[in-house]
């Protein structure tokens, strides 16, 4: 039996869509919730700039492919990142609810992810 792996490269933005953050994860729902819980945290880029709104994502089966594409995206200009987003999400609609099933995260979603409001980090 072949095991399938899931890795996601993604772009988030702040509510005003003025800042972009590129990341990679093996659990997109969990990572979006972590970004949301971390909003306003001056010790992280995504937290400092409130980058928790998902505008683009891409699935990879292999971690090295995902890491490589994340690095490529981080090296892109703002214009190139905007073109990447516009190709699949021309209105820059926030996709968090599509991925998480609801947004913002409530107690049920946090419970499903094994997180509490005060908790941070990974499971």
- Looking at residue 113, its pLDDT comes to 79
How long, in residues, is the chain?
123
| Predicted pLDDT of residue 81 | 98
Question: Which of 8-12, 78-82, 103-107 has the lowest average pLDDT?
Answer: 103-107
The DSSP annotation for 7-20 comes to EEEEEEE-TTS--E
> Which backbone phi and psi does 38 adopt, to 5 degrees?
-90, 0
First to last CA, the chain: 26
How far does CA 77 lie from the centroid of its chain? 19
Q: Is the pLDDT of residue 3 over 90?
A: no
Domains of the chain: 7-112 (3.40.1440.10)
Q: Which residues of 63-100 are buried (b: 16+ CB within 10 A; e: fewer)?
A: eeebeebbeebeeeeeeebbebbeeebeeeebbbeeeb
pTM: 0.86
Give 42-73 pLDDT, tens digit per residue: 999 999 999 999 999 999 999 999 999 999 99
Q: What is the mean pLDDT of the chain?
A: 91
Given a contact cutoff of 8 angstroms between Cβ atoms, the answer to whether 37 and 48 are in contact is no
Q: How many CB atoms lie within 10 A of CB 53?
A: 22
């Amino acid at each position: 039996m072949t095991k399938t792996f899931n890795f996601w490269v993604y772009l988030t933005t702040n509510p005003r869509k003025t800042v972009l953050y590129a990341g990679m994860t093996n659990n997109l729902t969990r990572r979006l919730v972590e970004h949301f819980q971390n909003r306003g945290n001056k010790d992280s880029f995504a937290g400092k700039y409130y980058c928790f709104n998902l505008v683009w994502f891409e699935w990879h089966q292999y971690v090295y492919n995902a890491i490589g594409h994340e690095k490529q995206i981080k090296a892109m200009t703002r214009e190139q990142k905007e073109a990447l987003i516009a190709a699949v999400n021309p209105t820059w609609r926030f996709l968090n609810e599509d991925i998480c099933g609801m947004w913002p995260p409530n107690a049920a979603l946090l419970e499903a992810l094994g997180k509490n409001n005060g908790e941070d980090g990974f499971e």
